[in-house]
Chains A and B, each alone.
Chain A
Amino acid sequence: MNTKELIEYVAKELVEKAEAVEVKEIKGVKSVIYELTCDPSDMGRVIGKDGRIIKALRTLVKAIASRRGGETVELEVID
């Protein structure tokens, strides 16, 4: 599993419509952006109350990146 698959895994476990979950990995020179898309009805499940879930996932993704020599990562939820 890599970071992209990890984001997919978490999102698919939490949503109703797993088939609508998609993660795009956009690589820059020293940065990576992950764009997470899901069904609009599942948005709240992925973000969580007060952003709890998405913040936790971001923290985890950043910890993984820090281990790999500090490239900057962003995780965005696209609606």
Chain B
Amino acid sequence: MDTGSAGRDPGTDEVIVEARLTEDAIAEGLARLGITHAEADVEILEEGHGGFLGLGGKDAKVRVRRKPDPSRIIRETLHRLVHVLDESAELVEVRERNGRWYGELEADELALVLGRRGRTLDSLQILTSAIVSRKMGKHIRITLDAAGFREKRREALTQMAQVLAREVVRDNVELHLDPMSAHDRKIIHSVLAKNKKVVSESEGQGSRRHVVLKPAEANEQTRKRTVEAYRDGGRGRHPSRARRGHRGRAQRRHAD
């Protein structure tokens, strides 16, 4: 980590301050960083000597460093990443649970920040995790969400998995879905874990890794079929679209 940053602008993480008294030097350093003592690591580089009647004294020298705070670093990093895309976007909530960080985004142009099937949100998540991990010197797992997108996506994938599972059994086919993120694949596997008629597995490497659904009792007649994993007409893309898509399906089903 960068340590030689003394004398930079007040936006820095570390200052070196000299003052007659050690306490004054610390107070000055905290003030310059705009933080409290609890938020700082203080190192006394040189003790001051009072001297006599202001003569012959020696100034104290301290280094005041901002303690790395994941929550603040996550906010700052995300702000810089998303700013060009939508300057209104910001994290309204950052919290930690079981060693994993969650960030809730708000943005004027939500569809833009989410992207198709949440791809832009996923990208922001990957970049934020990478940068914050590097700054903290350890791996930091971050999930970003906006307007309940992750939950809606989970619902859409759950529903899709159930529809596809019925297709596997009915048509005796092995379905190869489009490549998906590990997170999305896990949702499908967990949905079908209890289904005794269908086996849900992942195949392929890296960005080609995808879900394969097979009949539990596959035979020579079982055929392969590739499906567009998201053929649900874009549900899960964006909350407003998700609702519209859902109604559309429900109506069609009634018409049948």
Q: Are A63's CB and B85's CB within 8 A?
A: yes
Contacts between the two chains (Cβ within 8 Å), count: 62
Q: Are A56's CB and B126's CB within 8 A?
A: yes
**Docked pose: A22 CA to B83 CA in angstroms:** 21
Residues of A within 8 A of B126 (CB): 48, 52-53, 56
Q: How large is the interface on A (under 10, 10 to 19, 20 to 34, 35 or more residues)?
A: 20 to 34
With contact pairs A50-B206, A50-B207, A60-B123 given, residues A1 and B115 touching in the complex (Cβ less than 8 Å)? no
Tell whether B8 is near chain A: CB-to-CB under 8 Å.
no
Number of interface residues of B (CB under 8 A): 23
Tell whether A2 is near chain B: CB-to-CB under 8 Å.
yes
Nearest CB of B to A10, in Å:
6
Nearest CB of A to B137, in Å:
13
Residues of A within 8 A of B109 (CB): 67
**Docked pose: A14 CA to B80 CA in angstroms:** 14
Instruction: Tell me if A's interface is mostly helix, strand, loop or mixed.
Output: helix
Nearest CB of B to A56, in Å:
4
Residues of A within 8 A of B135 (CB): 13
Q: Are B83's CB and A56's CB within 8 A?
A: no
Instruction: Tell me if B's interface is mostly helix, strand, loop or mixed.
Output: helix
Per-residue CB contact flags for chain A residues 20-45 toward chain B (1 = under 8 Å, else 0) read 00000000000000000000000000
With contact pairs A9-B80, A13-B135, A59-B115 given, residues A67 and B85 touching in the complex (Cβ less than 8 Å)? yes
Q: Are A57's CB and B207's CB within 8 A?
A: no
Q: Are A56's CB and B207's CB within 8 A?
A: no
Show 10 residue pairs from A and B whose CB-CB distance is below 8 angstroms, ordered by the A residue: A6-B84, A10-B131, A53-B130, A56-B123, A57-B123, A59-B120, A60-B85, A60-B127, A63-B115, A67-B109
With contact pairs A51-B207, A67-B112 given, residues A10 and B127 touching in the complex (Cβ less than 8 Å)? yes
7 cross-chain pairs, A with B, having the tightest CB-CB distances, nearest first: A56-B123, A56-B126, A50-B206, A59-B123, A13-B131, A63-B120, A60-B123
Tell whether A72 is near chain B: CB-to-CB under 8 Å.
no
In the complex, chain B residues 159-191 whose Cβ is within 8 Å of any chain A Cβ: none
Nearest CB of B to A18, in Å:
10
Nearest CB of A to B169, in Å:
33
Tell whether B91 is near chain A: CB-to-CB under 8 Å.
no
Tell whether A55 is near chain B: CB-to-CB under 8 Å.
yes
Q: Are B84's CB and A10's CB within 8 A?
A: no
Q: Are A2's CB and B123's CB within 8 A?
A: no
Residues of B within 8 A of A56 (CB): 122-124, 126-127
Beyond the given A53-B130, A63-B85, A63-B112, could you list 13 further A-B residue pairs with CB under 8 A, ordered by the A residue number?
A3-B84, A13-B130, A13-B134, A13-B135, A48-B130, A50-B206, A53-B126, A55-B207, A56-B122, A57-B123, A59-B123, A64-B84, A67-B112
